[in-house]
């Protein structure tokens, strides 16, 4: 996912989902459109072929009725005794010939009534050389030409059959004729006495089907050799395009009435009817592209599909965005949770799932807080218990020594001195052991210091003086018990080992919201190690209680937090300064 | 993200916009009201003549567009009949060519469908025999076009072999013709003429020399039984056949081949055959044209007759004035135009003043220097006027059968009486 820029990181899910959906929508719409077009095409072709088959049947019928007219006409001629007599007549005088022409003309005029609906020329040729045509202008073939033509030889090959052939006139007009021909034969004894020809211009033939044709819809009448005899595509008449006959076979075998094949370079819907009386095939070819292409407005379909896809995309875009937005904002909030020390709750909005996740996360935070609080609380309690235990452990040596000192005072008879010392010890013990509360006011604490200092001065002499500078507005502030006593103790026992005497100053004041207490001596001083660790007291027997310099600092930090605590500065030979900082607000 | 989406949407919109097609303008062609359409048949003669007239008219009125359309004569008749009988004139031309033999049947059947041309040309300027078939109730409807004036085209070389000179045979009658024919057959073995048994053109030519026709002057009553001219014509016809002067033909092609191949010595027919005769250039100088033989037994018979010929008619539809003006200024009054017609295509009109022109007086070397056109023009004026009436071809069909009966030996009077009865029944 490296290609997705940083700003899209939270939308990764959206992008993936959206693009997958887009791809799916497009794929589905293309598939459906394509399938629909194909199905409707096939449906249309099927229906179309059925109607077309009917049309072709109609065309076939007109061909058949045409053929029937020709059959009637040929029968009339066959049965005509006049014609027979004329064609079997051996020698004509001019007068006889004139009469023969007239009679033949009359006969043919009668025969022509069968073919009233069509324009044609009827020609009869006798074995005796007599020939007569009703309309030589229409079919301009000379007797000699006709006699030697393939038309005549084919006719005589099958004397009992009416056959149809294609004839092309090479007189410059290039007119094409469909010639129906039959031998004139005495059926009883098989004597052939002539032949008859019915010539129809190809256009006469064509009108049976031209009304059904159009651009892309062509009809071909094809003979057994595969030559196109008649068609609305006049250029192809007389040609022999490949494949036509094989199509005929295919269609005869196929269960439908049509096949789709390539012809003239285009896919065509081909249907075929066999014209038995003509021994020809009637082909109908429809340019598939033109027929079906017109049917389905592909542009419209594509436009509609595009519009649908477009609308779907907008909907998908908005919906996906809504779904993933809540999720990604949830993710963002969860990610930021650690920055706010798990105090920032996530907003549970959006869908059901994200709401549940948010809620779960929030309750997890709750649990976490609860647990942490409990932990802190138990830590605190543990500390307090420790402190209490330490508090209770008033060093017995302190008491022995003090009591021993008092005993000497009594022996020396210093009654008042003894009383003051005992009073100091009593109030000191009262304040430390007797008072169960954790904190003392500054004034109490200062009293403790004074009593402690008094006892020490009684025991060790007055070489160390103690001065108190307490700002009066600070007297009522509460501070943890025995936070200053360990430092004074420290000064008494370690600060004046070399120097013969000095003083200890206790200062208490406030700066803004901070209470500052300082215990300053002008004793030996000490070297402060780089770790700034407070020195450990080893001489336990001299300590007042279990509370040492070190654990004062820890206690303050535990109660008030990181920024507060004890700082010690000292110089060898100059003295030591201990500074305790406490917040006023929480006192 | 938004930018990508916006680009995507815009591209879709662009695609949709691009795919909308542009419509093509379709403009209808306004109908040209200055167009005059003409229907005629025969591209070598009538169509050609009309195209010449079109050229001639250009100098008169270049704005009018003459459109000449060729149809077969049968098609024209059929189309006129269907349209006119249903009363619609849609799709009909302004000018139509109608054969004189059929003119009356159209004029009588649809008198209001034709535009009167009396004022468009001077009837007196045209050969008199043309006026009767082209007019109705004294009003002129047709403008006479070609003449069907007949002549006897003869092979002078054959005649000379039989001992005749052209000068000896002027203004002969049919008896003389048969006599000549026999001699020619003797001398050359050639037949005298070709005949198509279903075409009684010869009979028609014969009876018109006597001012007689198949119908009486009213144009309706058959005039067969008791028609002396017709009876004489039948007899002559049989006599010609009996003398074995006829080479039988069954169609036009064989008819033309008959004289082109030199099989016959004479061709009695209309002057319009001249181009066909001249088509065989090898026979140049061997032909001459004699006046039509007259009927032997009929006193008022003259040596002039007519076969065929047609005239122009203007239909009573929009543009008739223009059409009438066009005809009047070309075929109706332009003598020079007739000279052009004759020079270009050998056509001879029936406009009398045209015979004064140069082309009409020119000698024709093909006919041995004879002034053929001038002769025809002179004969035209002598043609007896008859009313072809309405049923020429119907009666001819009956007479063709009667002729065969007569030739087989049936009594002539009986034959004609039967024909008369049949005609009366059929025409009624």
Which pLDDT value is given to residue B16?
A: 47
Could you give the count of Cα atoms lying within 13 Å of B105 in the half-sphere of its Cβ? 17
Test A94 with B253 for CB contact under 8 angstroms. no
Q: What is the CA radius of gyration of chain A?
A: 66
Distance CA A269, CA A280 (A): 19
Distance CA B95, CA B50 (A): 11
Which pLDDT value is given to residue A9?
A: 64
Q: What is the mean pLDDT of residues A232-241?
A: 86
Q: Give percent of chain B with pLDDT exceeding 70.
A: 92
SS3 B164: coil
Least Cα separation, residue B372 to chain A (angstroms): 30
Q: Give percent of chain A with pLDDT exceeding 70.
A: 91
Cβ atoms within 10 A of the Cβ of B204, count? 25
For B144-164, the pLDDT digits (tens) are: 998 889 999 999 999 999 999
What proportions of chain A, in percent to the nearest 5, are helix, strand and coil?
Answer: 55, 20, 25
Please identify, in words, the CATH class of the domain defined by B150-305+391-427: alpha beta
SS3 A509: strand
| Whether the Cβ atoms of residue A102 and residue B197 lie closer than 8 Å to each other | yes
Burial of A506 (0-12, 13-18, 19+ CB in 10 A): buried
For B122-141, the pLDDT digits (tens) are: 988 998 889 888 988 889 99
Which pLDDT value is given to residue A398?
A: 76
Of the candidates A280, A284, A239, which has an alpha carbon nearest to the alpha carbon of residue A259? A284
- Decide if pLDDT at B20 tops 60: no
Distance CA A286, CA A98 (A): 54
List CB contacts (< 8 A) between A11 and chain B. Answer: 1
Comparing alpha-carbon positions, the chain A residue that sits nearest to B1 is A8
Q: Which residues contact A212 (CB under 8 A, 6 or more apart)?
A: A55, A59, A219, A284
Test B407 with A99 for CB contact under 8 angstroms. yes
Test B5 with A98 for CB contact under 8 angstroms. no
Test B12 with A306 for CB contact under 8 angstroms. yes
For residue A134, report the phi and psi dihedrals to the nearest 5 degrees.
-75, -25
Burial of A384 (0-12, 13-18, 19+ CB in 10 A): middle
DSSP state letters, B216-249: -TTSSSB--TT-HHHHHHHHHHHHHHHTT-EEE-
Least Cα separation, residue A121 to chain B (angstroms): 12
Q: Would you place residue A401 in the very low, low, confident or very high pLDDT band (cuts 50, 70, 90)? A: confident
- Decide if pLDDT at B23 tops 60: no
SS3 B291: coil
* Tokens of residue A252, six digits: 């005869």
Please identify, in words, the CATH class of the domain defined by A393-583: alpha beta
CB proximity B256 to A under 8 Å: no
Test A306 with B16 for CB contact under 8 angstroms. yes
For A65-87, the pLDDT digits (tens) are: 999 999 999 999 998 888 999 99
Q: What is the mean pLDDT of chain B?
A: 87
For A308-346, the pLDDT digits (tens) are: 888 988 998 888 887 777 778 888 888 877 777 677 777
For B290-322, the pLDDT digits (tens) are: 999 999 889 899 999 999 889 999 999 888 889
Distance CA A159, CA A152 (A): 11
- Decide if pLDDT at B233 tops 90: yes
Find the distance separating the first CA and the last CA of chain A, reported in whole Å. 55
Test A98 with B241 for CB contact under 8 angstroms. yes
Better-predicted residue by pLDDT, B410 or A387: B410
* Tokens of residue A198, six digits: 């019915």
List CB contacts (< 8 A) between B393 and chain A. Answer: none
Residue A344: DSSP 8-state:
P
Which pLDDT value is given to residue B402?
A: 93
**Strands, E assignment, B161-307:** 193-195, 246-248, 266-270, 287-290
**Strands, E assignment, A300-452:** 439-441
Q: What separation in angstroms does the CA of B198 have from each of A81, A159, B12, B401?
A: 20, 31, 82, 8
- Decide if pLDDT at A390 tops 70: no
Which pLDDT value is given to residue A40?
A: 84
For B402-411, the pLDDT digits (tens) are: 999 999 999 9
**Which secondary structure element, helix H or strand E, spans residue B136, and what is its range?**
strand B135-136
List CB contacts (< 8 A) between B72 and chain A. Answer: none
For B83-135, the pLDDT digits (tens) are: 888 888 888 999 999 999 999 989 988 888 999 999 889 988 998 889 888 98
Angle between helices B392-407 and B412-427 (to 10 degrees): 150
ipTM, 2 dp:
0.80
| Whether the Cβ atoms of residue B158 and residue B165 lie closer than 8 Å to each other | no
Domain B35-147+308-378 matches domain B150-305+391-427 at the CATH topology level = yes
Cβ atoms within 10 A of the Cβ of B43, count? 11
CATH architecture of A80-205: 2-Layer Sandwich (3.30)
- Decide if pLDDT at B167 tops 50: yes
Which pLDDT value is given to residue A490?
A: 83
- The answer to whether the pTM exceeds 0.80 is no
Q: Give percent of chain A with pLDDT exceeding 90.
A: 13
DSSP state letters, B367-415: GTTB-HHHHHHHHHHHPPP----S-HHHHHHHHHHHHHHHHTT--HHHH
Distance CA B361, CA B377 (A): 10
CB proximity B248 to A under 8 Å: yes
Of the candidates A449, A444, A441, A451, which has an alpha carbon nearest to the alpha carbon of residue A420? A451
Test B404 with A317 for CB contact under 8 angstroms. no
**Checking DSSP bridges between strand A502-511 and strand A514-521, what pairing results, if any?**
antiparallel
* A54-68, A259-273, A435-449, A519-533: range with highest mean pLDDT: A54-68
For residue A533, report the phi and psi dihedrals to the nearest 5 degrees.
-85, 145
Test B404 with A103 for CB contact under 8 angstroms. yes
Angle between helices B73-86 and B100-109 (to 10 degrees): 10
Cα B222–Cα B228–Cα B234 angle in degrees, nearest 5: 85
Sequence-separated contacts (24+) of B414-420 with Cβ below 8 Å: B415/B234, B416/B224, B416/B225, B416/B226, B416/B227, B416/B230, B416/B231, B416/B234, B417/B225, B419/B224, B419/B225, B419/B395, B420/B222, B420/B224, B420/B225
Which site among B1, B191, B250, B257 would you substitute to test the A interface, given the most A Cβ atoms closer than 10 Å to its Cβ?
B250
Q: Would you place residue B28 in the very low, low, confident or very high pLDDT band (cuts 50, 70, 90)? A: very low
Q: Is the dihedral of CA B266, B293, B200, B143 positive or negative?
A: positive
Strand partners for A576: A521, A570
Cα B101–Cα B104–Cα B108 angle in degrees, nearest 5: 160
For A562-584, the pLDDT digits (tens) are: 788 888 888 888 888 889 888 88
Test B16 with A303 for CB contact under 8 angstroms. yes
Q: Where are the domains of chain B?
A: 35-147+308-378, 150-305+391-427
Least Cα separation, residue B120 to chain A (angstroms): 38
**Fold of the B35-147+308-378 domain:** D-Maltodextrin-Binding Protein; domain 2 (3.40.190)
CB proximity B75 to A under 8 Å: no
Which pLDDT value is given to residue A545?
A: 65
Least Cα separation, residue A350 to chain B (angstroms): 21
For residue B19, report the phi and psi dihedrals to the nearest 5 degrees.
-80, -5
Q: What is the mean pLDDT of residues A90-117?
A: 88
Which pLDDT value is given to residue B17?
A: 44
Strand partners for A506: A468, A519
List CB contacts (< 8 A) between B203 and chain A. Answer: none
Q: Where are the domains of chain A?
A: 80-205, 393-583
Q: Which residues contact B172 (CB under 8 A, 6 or more apart)?
A: B180, B290, B293, B294
Q: Which residues contact A504 (CB under 8 A, 6 or more apart)?
A: A453, A464, A465, A466, A467, A488, A491, A492, A495, A519, A520, A521
List CB contacts (< 8 A) between B197 and chain A. Answer: 98-99, 101-102, 105
For A517-559, the pLDDT digits (tens) are: 999 988 888 776 554 555 554 445 556 666 677 778 877 877 7
For residue A80, report the phi and psi dihedrals to the nearest 5 degrees.
-75, 120
């Amino acid at each position: 996912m490296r290609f997705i820029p940083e700003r899209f990181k939270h939308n990764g899910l959206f992008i993936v989902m959206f693009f997958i959906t887009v791809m799916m929508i497009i794929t589905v719409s293309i598939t459906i459109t394509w399938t629909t077009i194909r199905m409707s095409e096939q449906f249309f072709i099927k229906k179309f072929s059925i109607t077309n088959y009917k049309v072709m049947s109609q065309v076939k019928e007109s061909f058949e009725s045409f053929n029937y007219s020709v059959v009637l006409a040929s029968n009339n001629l066959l049965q005509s005794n006049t014609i027979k007599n004329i064609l079997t007549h051996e020698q004509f005088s001019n007068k006889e010939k004139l009469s023969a022409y007239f009679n033949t003309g009359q006969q043919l005029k009668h025969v022509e009534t069968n073919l009233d609906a069509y324009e044609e020329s009827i020609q009869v040729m006798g074995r005796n050389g007599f020939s007569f045509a009703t309309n030589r202008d229409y079919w301009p073939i000379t007797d000699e030409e006709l006699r030697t033509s393939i038309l005549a030889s084919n006719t005589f090959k099958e004397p009992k059959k009416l056959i149809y052939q294609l004839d092309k006139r090479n007189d410059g007009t290039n007119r094409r004729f469909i010639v129906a021909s039959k031998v004139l034969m005495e059926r009883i004894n098989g004597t052939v006495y002539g032949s008859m020809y019915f010539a129809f211009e190809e256009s006469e033939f064509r009108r049976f089907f031209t009304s059904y044709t159009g651009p892309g819809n062509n009809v071909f009448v094809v003979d057994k050799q595969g030559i196109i005899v008649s068609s609305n595509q006049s250029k192809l008449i007389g040609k022999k395009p490949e494949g036509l006959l094989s199509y005929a076979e295919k269609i005869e075998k196929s269960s439908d009435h049509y096949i789709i094949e390539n012809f003239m370079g285009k896919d065509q819907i081909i249907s075929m009817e066999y014209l038995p009386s003509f021994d020809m095939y009637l082909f109908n070819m429809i340019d598939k592209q033109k027929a079906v292409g017109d049917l389905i407005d592909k542009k419209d379909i594509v436009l509609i599909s595009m519009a649908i896809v477009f609308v779907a995309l907008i909907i998908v875009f908005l919906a996906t965005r809504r779904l993933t937005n809540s999720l990604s904002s949830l993710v963002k909030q969860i990610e930021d949770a650690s920055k706010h020390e798990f105090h920032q709750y996530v907003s549970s909005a959006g869908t059901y799932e994200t709401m549940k996740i948010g809620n779960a996360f929030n309750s997890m935070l709750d649990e976490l807080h609860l647990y942490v609080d409990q932990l802190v609380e138990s830590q605190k309690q543990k500390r307090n218990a420790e402190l209490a235990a330490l508090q209770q452990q008033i060093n017995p040596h302190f008491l022995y020594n003090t009591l021993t000192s008092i005993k000497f005072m009594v022996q020396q008879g210093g009654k008042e001195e003894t009383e003051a010392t005992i009073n100091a010890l009593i109030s000191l013990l009262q304040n430390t052991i007797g008072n169960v509360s954790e904190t003392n006011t500054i004034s109490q604490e200062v009293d403790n210091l004074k009593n402690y200092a008094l006892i020490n001065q009684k025991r060790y002499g007055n070489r160390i003086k103690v001065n108190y500078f307490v700002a009066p507005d600070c007297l009522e502030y509460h501070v943890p018990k025995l936070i200053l006593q360990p430092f004074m103790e420290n000064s008494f026992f370690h600060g004046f080992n070399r120097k013969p005497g000095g003083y200890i100053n206790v200062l208490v004041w406030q700066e803004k919201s901070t209470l500052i207490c300082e215990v300053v001596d002008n004793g030996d001083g000490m070297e402060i190690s780089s770790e700034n660790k407070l020195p450990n007291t080893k001489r336990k027997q001299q300590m007042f209680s279990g509370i040492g310099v070190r654990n004062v600092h820890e206690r303050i930090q535990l109660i008030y937090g990181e920024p507060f605590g004890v700082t010690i500065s000292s110089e060898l030979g100059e003295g030591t300064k201990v500074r305790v900082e406490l917040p006023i607000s929480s006192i | 993200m938004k930018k990508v989406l916006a680009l995507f949407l815009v591209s879709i919109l662009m695609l949709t916009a691009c795919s909308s097609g542009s419509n093509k303008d379709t403009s209808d062609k306004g109908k040209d009201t200055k167009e005059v359409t003409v229907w005629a048949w025969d591209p070598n003669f009538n169509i050609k003549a009309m195209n010449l007239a079109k050229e001639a008219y250009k100098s008169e009125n270049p704005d009018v567009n003459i459109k000449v359309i060729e149809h077969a004569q049968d098609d024209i008749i059929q189309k006129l009949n269907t349209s006119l009988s249903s009363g619609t004139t849609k799709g009909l031309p302004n000018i139509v060519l109608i054969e004189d033999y059929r003119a009356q049947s159209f004029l009588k059947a649809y008198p209001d469908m034709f535009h009167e041309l009396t004022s468009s040309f001077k009837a007196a300027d045209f050969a008199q025999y043309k006026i009767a078939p082209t007019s109705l109730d004294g009003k002129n409807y047709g403008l006479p076009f070609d003449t069907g004036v007949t002549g006897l085209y003869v092979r002078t070389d054959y005649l000379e072999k039989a001992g005749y000179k052209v000068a000896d045979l002027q203004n002969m009658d049919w008896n003389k013709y048969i006599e000549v024919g026999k001699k020619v057959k003797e001398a050359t073995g050639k037949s005298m003429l070709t005949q198509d048994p279903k075409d009684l053109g010869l009979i028609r030519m014969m009876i018109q020399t006597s001012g007689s026709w198949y119908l009486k002057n009213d144009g309706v009553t058959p005039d067969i039984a008791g028609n002396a001219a017709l009876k004489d014509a039948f007899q002559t016809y049989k006599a010609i056949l009996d003398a074995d002067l006829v080479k039988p033909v069954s169609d036009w092609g064989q008819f033309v081949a008959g004289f082109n191949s030199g099989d016959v010595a004479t061709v009695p027919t209309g002057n319009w055959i001249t181009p066909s005769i001249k088509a065989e250039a090898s026979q140049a100088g061997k032909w001459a044209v004699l006046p039509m033989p007259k009927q032997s037994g009929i006193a008022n018979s003259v040596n002039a007759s007519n076969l065929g010929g047609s005239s122009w008619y203007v239909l009573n539809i929009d543009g008739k004035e223009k059409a009438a003006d066009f005809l009047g200024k070309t075929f109706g009054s332009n003598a020079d135009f007739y000279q052009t017609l004759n020079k270009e295509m050998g056509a001879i009109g029936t406009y009398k003043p045209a015979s004064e022109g140069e082309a009409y007086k020119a000698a024709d070397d093909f006919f041995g220097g004879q002034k053929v056109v001038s002769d025809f023009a002179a004969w035209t004026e002598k043609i007896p006027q008859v009313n072809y009436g309405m049923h020429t071809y119907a009666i001819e069909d009956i007479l063709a059968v009667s002729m065969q009966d007569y030739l087989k030996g049936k009594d002539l009077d009986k034959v004609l009486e039967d024909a008369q009865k049949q005609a009366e029944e059929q025409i009624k």
